[in-house]
């Protein structure tokens, strides 16, 4: 995935720093609680929500299980409608394709080498902006939150609202100090009212929209039977990027496909209500190839793998590819609310990030090996997911992979992962437990010993167990093992208890 | 090996567990959800459209067919519009009597020229009551996508009750995916500052929807 996040600390270290930041915690708490209640009300309006959720899950599962067929169908349909389809196995290849297309569209004149971008997780994932910058192409983010992140030289911390960690005062300060570097400065006397901040963004970006020759987007959905791409947005920046430039390049993960036009009737009901808690988002654009005299004359679709086929190879983990990037799971997650998005070390934070990043990137780095543990397994994420991804199930599955190692697919190749280094004590404890539980005499002796020595037990564990007991109480050991009590009293029936 | 072959090969190997005789698409998806939520008369569907449009800050007007030109003239005047861009197939007569200068959309016009136009008036392809949405499909009475995007004031005329459907599934059934489609639910908005909705970013900041047709005041008989 992105090189931006190389060398990120493991989740616990990053989270420890984040929870000590009271401004950050206040911002996150305010924003996630606001949206949480609104989402619940928007969902409650539809009495068939459970059936919509089930249909969404089934459509995505069916597509994933026949993805080769649907990919070929997308290619045929988009080509027939006047578009050009490119295939990118990884981030570098996708970036190379896009950079070349931008240079071709710009006609070799370096002054023309700028692009306007619609918010897109896929291009964040492959660090497209950085790759374009290295080739002398300026990429301007036009979504308000992405603009805040870009101007603040910051990293996104939420799927839907990448600047969720910033409050209105911080946003005003960023606009005041940074906008002039990139184009039209912020208005004099800019206050921190959201309406004024939105107006400042409108003025700042308008000149860029009007002169842009190349637009870059992702897509929320690609319909295989028609070759139609769908972008769901709020501000109109998406419409600007999708219709004003002469050339449009869309970078889309291969899991974004739905088979038929009719399938959109499910997701256009579940996505807006799950993400912004609206009955419908302000703007949705749908386009099929190119249209004469309306919108871009040239359209390129870049189909991106970048770890998705590796994820698809895992029968438990592949359900993560159903994700429609609504971010409802982030907004309800008690861990995300406290740790914030940056601690996850990926453009995909929160519960979905904790199962997506270690699958797309593998569990080789410290941060990726720690992500399956960035959860209390409370299950709130599963409950709100509009495509019913059982995130706790995948988290536990990935924990097993980290601790025990085993077969996996990386870059299309079958590999056998070695058990992660940091979990030796856990494995030793589990092996000891397994031995004790399969030898009743040993278990009995051990339990009695533990009961008799219970006054001598420390309150925290020594050695490698210290980290575990750092935030937990050790369970008190009873005066008598349960099995002894049961045998002595016949389960309490002889009246002695 | 091309990347296309590499990716398709990886997908096929990843799906080795999928049986060849797996249930086809038709039986894989149980569409047990509703085509529409609740039962409504035609008039109630139009009322719901008006209510939901207004809930997301569109300004809703109702009028009989004959009153449309007068209403459009008044709305443009009230907005202080000096000029108004129109798609090539806007019904003649709609802007009769409007004081604003009429600008005809031409392919050669630059976005900068469009940016100097105050308003745009269009028809629509379909409107969705449950979500308060109007959908444009680039037909002659709606024009190219850019004309409803760059000007800051959009007046959209919905012919009621013919163009109104109850819910999203019915709207998709009426639309042609080959056409460029724009679904609009209220004026441009953002939730990016503290996840609270604010109207008015890059698209038209004022959206007025005229529900035209039916009886004298535009009310549809039940």
The pLDDT of residue B221 is 44
* Out of B2, B29, B169, closest to residue A58 by CB: B29
* Out of B7, B169, B203, closest to residue A309 by CB: B7
- Residue B106 at interface with chain A, using a CB cutoff of 8 Å: no
Q: Is A370 exposed, middle or buried (0-12, 13-18, 19+ CB in 10 A)?
A: buried
Domain assignment present for B16: no
- Binned at pLDDT 50, 70 and 90, residue A7 comes out as low
Q: For A352-372, what is each residue's pLDDT tens digit?
A: 999 999 999 999 899 999 999
Is the pLDDT score of B222 beyond 60?
A: no
Is the pLDDT score of A110 beyond 60?
A: no
The pLDDT of residue A3 is 42
The pLDDT of residue A312 is 98
What is the signed CA dihedral for B90, B96, B102, B106, rounded to 10 degrees?
20
Does residue B151 contact residue A236 with C-beta atoms inside 8 Å? no
Least confident span in A164-168, B82-86, B179-183: A164-168
- Residue B108 at interface with chain A, using a CB cutoff of 8 Å: no
Is the pLDDT score of A242 beyond 60?
A: yes
B22 interaction partners in chain A (CB closer than 8 Å): 65-66
The pLDDT of residue A497 is 47
- Binned at pLDDT 50, 70 and 90, residue A107 comes out as low
| Strands B83-86 and B126-128, sheet pairing | unpaired
Does residue B30 contact residue A55 with C-beta atoms inside 8 Å? yes
Q: For A427-461, what is each residue's pLDDT tens digit?
A: 888 889 999 999 999 999 999 999 999 888 888 88
Q: For A300-343, what is each residue's pLDDT tens digit?
A: 999 999 999 999 999 999 999 999 999 999 999 999 999 999 99
- SS3 for chain A, per residue? CCHHHCCCCCHHHHHHHHHCCHHHHHHHHHHHHHHHHHHHHHHHCCCCHHHHHHHHHHHHHHHHHCHHHHHHHHHHHHHHCCCEEEEECCHHHHHHHHHHHHHHHHCCCHHHCEEEECCCHHHHHCCHHHHHHHCCCEEEECCHHHHHHHHCCCCCCCCCCCCCCCCHHHHHHHHHHHHHHHCCCCCCCCCCCHHHHHHHHHHHHHHHHHHCCEEEECCCEEECCCCEEEEEECCCHHHHHHHCCCEEEEEEEHHHEECCHHHHHHHHHHHHHHHCCCCCCCEEEEEECCECCECCCEEEEEEECCCHHHHHCCCCHHHHHHCCCCCHHHHHCHHHHHHCCHHHCCCCCHHHHHHHHHHHCCCCCHHHHHHHHCCCCCCHHHHHCCCCCCHHHHHHHHHHHHHHCEEEEECCEEEEECCCHHHHHHHHHHHHHHHHHCCHHHHHHHHHHHHHCHHHCCCCCCHHHHHHHCCCCCCCCCCCCHHHHHHHHCCCCCCCC
Helix axes A194-211, A168-182, angle to 10 degrees: 20
Q: A51 vs B187: CB contact, 8 Å cut-off?
A: no
Q: B189 vs A282: CB contact, 8 Å cut-off?
A: yes
Q: How many CB pairs under 8 A join A and B?
A: 265
- Binned at pLDDT 50, 70 and 90, residue B99 comes out as very high
Which chain B residue lies closest to A78 (C-alpha atoms)?
B178
Q: For A259-279, what is each residue's pLDDT tens digit?
A: 999 999 999 999 999 999 999
**Which 8-state DSSP code applies to residue B34?**
-
The pLDDT of residue A6 is 57
Q: Quote the CA–CA distance of A329 and A322 in Å, as a whole number.
A: 14
The pLDDT of residue B72 is 98
Nearest Cα neighbor of B185 from A118, A271, A329 is A271
Domains held by chain B: number:
1
Is the pLDDT score of A2 beyond 60?
A: no
Is the pLDDT score of B184 beyond 60?
A: yes
Helix axes A391-404, A350-360, angle to 10 degrees: 40
Q: For A198-207, what is each residue's pLDDT tens digit?
A: 999 999 999 9
Question: pLDDT averaged over chain A?
Answer: 92
The pLDDT of residue B193 is 87
Gyration radius of chain B's alpha carbons: 21
Q: Is A309 exposed, middle or buried (0-12, 13-18, 19+ CB in 10 A)?
A: buried
Is the pLDDT score of B220 beyond 50?
A: no
Q: Which CATH number does A1-433 carry?
A: 3.40.50.10420
What CATH number is attached to the domain comprising B184? 3.40.50.10420
- Residue B183 at interface with chain A, using a CB cutoff of 8 Å: yes
Q: What are residue B190's DSSP bridge partners? A: B198
A88 interaction partners in chain B (CB closer than 8 Å): 3
* Out of A30, A72, A209, closest to residue B194 by CB: A30
Is the pLDDT score of A100 beyond 60?
A: yes
Task: For residues B39-43, give the mean pLDDT.
Answer: 96
The pLDDT of residue A494 is 65
Is the pLDDT score of A422 beyond 80?
A: no
Q: B29 vs A55: CB contact, 8 Å cut-off?
A: yes
Does residue B48 contact residue B199 with C-beta atoms inside 8 Å? no
- Binned at pLDDT 50, 70 and 90, residue A4 comes out as very low
The fraction of chain B above a pLDDT of 90, given in percent, is 85
- Chain B, window 21-40: residues with a beta carbon less than 8 angstroms from a chain A beta carbon: 22, 25, 28-34, 37
* Out of B28, B177, B202, closest to residue A235 by CB: B202
Domain assignment present for B31: no
The pLDDT of residue A466 is 80
> B83 or A27, which is more confident?
B83
Least confident span in A12-16, A117-121, B4-8, B31-35: A12-16
Q: Give me the residue spans of the domains in chain A.
A: 1-433, 439-489
The pLDDT of residue A32 is 92
Place of tokens 């599955």: A397
Q: For A139-175, what is each residue's pLDDT tens digit?
A: 999 999 999 999 999 999 999 989 989 999 999 999 9
- Chain B, window 203-222: residues with a beta carbon less than 8 angstroms from a chain A beta carbon: 203-204
Closest-CA distance, B173 to chain A, in angstroms, reads: 8
Closest-CA distance, B90 to chain A, in angstroms, reads: 17
* Out of A163, A259, A412, closest to residue B192 by CB: A163
Q: B183 vs A286: CB contact, 8 Å cut-off?
A: yes
The fraction of chain A above a pLDDT of 70, given in percent, is 97
The pLDDT of residue A112 is 58
A287 interaction partners in chain B (CB closer than 8 Å): 180-181
Q: For A168-198, what is each residue's pLDDT tens digit?
A: 999 999 999 999 999 999 999 999 999 999 9
Q: B202 vs A240: CB contact, 8 Å cut-off?
A: yes
- Residue B57 at interface with chain A, using a CB cutoff of 8 Å: no
The pLDDT of residue A284 is 98
Domain assignment present for B128: yes
Does residue B167 contact residue B35 with C-beta atoms inside 8 Å? yes
Domain assignment present for B11: no
Q: B7 vs A254: CB contact, 8 Å cut-off?
A: yes
Domain of residue B127, residue span: 40-212
Question: pLDDT averaged over chain B?
Answer: 93
Domain assignment present for B204: yes
């Amino acid at each position: 995935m992105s090189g931006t996040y190389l060398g990120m600390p493991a989740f616990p270290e990053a989270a420890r720093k984040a929870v000590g930041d009271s401004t950050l915690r206040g911002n996150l708490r305010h924003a996630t609680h606001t949206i949480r209640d609104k989402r619940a009300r928007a969902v409650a309006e539809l009495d068939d929500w459970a059936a919509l959720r089930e249909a969404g899950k089934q459509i995505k599962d069916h597509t994933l299980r026949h993805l080769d067929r649907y990919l070929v169908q997308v290619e045929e349909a988009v080509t027939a409608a006047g578009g050009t389809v490119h295939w990118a196995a990884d981030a570098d290849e996708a970036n190379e394709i896009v950079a070349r297309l931008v240079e071709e569209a710009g006609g070799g004149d370096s002054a023309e080498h700028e692009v306007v971008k619609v918010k897109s997780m896929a291009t964040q994932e492959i660090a497209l902006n950085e790759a374009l910058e290295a080739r002398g192409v300026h990429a301007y983010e036009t979504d308000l939150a992405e603009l805040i992140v870009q101007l603040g030289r910051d990293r996104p911390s939420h799927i839907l609202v990448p600047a969720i960690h910033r409050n209105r005062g911080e946003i005003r300060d960023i606009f005041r100090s940074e906008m002039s570097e990139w184009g039209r400065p912020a208005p004099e006397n800019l206050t921190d009212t959201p309406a004024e901040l939105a107006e400042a963004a409108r003025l700042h970006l308008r000149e860029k929209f009007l002169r842009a020759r190349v637009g870059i987007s992702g897509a929320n959905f690609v319909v295989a039977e028609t070759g139609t791409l769908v972008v769901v947005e709020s501000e109109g920046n998406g419409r600007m990027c999708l219709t004003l430039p002469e050339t449009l390049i869309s970078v889309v993960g291969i899991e974004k496909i739905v088979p038929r036009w009719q399938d959109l009737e499910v997701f256009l009901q579940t996505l807006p209500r799950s993400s912004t808690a609206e009955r419908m988002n302000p703007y949705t654009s749908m386009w099929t190839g190119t249209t004469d005299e309306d919108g871009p004359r040239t359209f390129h679709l870049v189909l991106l793998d970048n770890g998705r086929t590796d994820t698809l190879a895992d029968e438990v983990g592949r359900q993560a590819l159903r994700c429609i990037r609504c971010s409802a799971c982030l907004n309800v997650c008690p861990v995300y609310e406290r740790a914030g998005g940056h601690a996850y070390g990926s453009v995909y934070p929160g519960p979905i990030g904790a199962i997506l990043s270690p699958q797309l990137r593998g569990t080789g780095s410290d941060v990726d090996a720690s992500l399956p543990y960035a959860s209390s397994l409370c299950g709130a994420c599963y409950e709100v997911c509009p495509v019913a991804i059982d995130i706790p199930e995948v988290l536990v599955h990935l924990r097993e992979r980290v601790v025990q190692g085993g077969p996996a697919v990386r870059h299309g190749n079958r590999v056998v992962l070695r058990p992660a280094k940091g979990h030796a004590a856990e494995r030793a404890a589990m092996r000891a437990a397994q031995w004790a539980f399969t030898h009743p005499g040993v278990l009995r002796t051990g339990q009695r010993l533990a009961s008799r020595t219970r006054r001598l037990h420390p309150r925290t564990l020594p050695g490698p167990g210290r980290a575990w007991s750092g935030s937990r109480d050790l369970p008190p050991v009873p005066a008598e093992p349960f099995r002894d009590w049961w045998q002595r009293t016949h389960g309490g029936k002889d009246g002695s208890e | 090996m091309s990347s296309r072959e590499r990716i398709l090969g990886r997908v096929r190997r990843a799906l080795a567990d999928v049986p060849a005789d797996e249930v086809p698409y038709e039986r894989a998806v149980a569409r047990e959800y509703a085509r529409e939520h609740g039962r409504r008369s035609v008039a109630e569907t139009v009322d719901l459209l008006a209510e939901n449009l207004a809930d997301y800050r569109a300004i809703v007007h109702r009028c009989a067919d004959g009153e449309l030109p007068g209403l459009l003239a008044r709305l443009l005047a009230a907005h202080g519009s000096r000029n108004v861009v129109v798609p090539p197939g806007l019904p003649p007569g709609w802007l009769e009597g409007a004081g604003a200068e009429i600008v005809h959309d031409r392919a050669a016009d630059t976005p900068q020229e469009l940016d100097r136009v105050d308003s745009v008036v269009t028809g629509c392809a379909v409107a969705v009551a449950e979500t308060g949405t109007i959908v444009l499909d680039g037909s002659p009475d709606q024009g190219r996508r850019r004309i409803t995007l760059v000007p800051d004031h959009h007046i959209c005329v919905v012919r009621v009750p013919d163009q109104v459907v109850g819910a999203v599934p019915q709207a998709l059934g009426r639309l042609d995916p080959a056409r460029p489609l724009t679904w609009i639910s209220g004026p441009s908005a953002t939730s990016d500052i503290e996840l609270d909705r604010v109207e008015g970013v890059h698209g038209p900041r004022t959206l007025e929807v005229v529900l035209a047709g039916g009886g004298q005041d535009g009310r549809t008989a039940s």
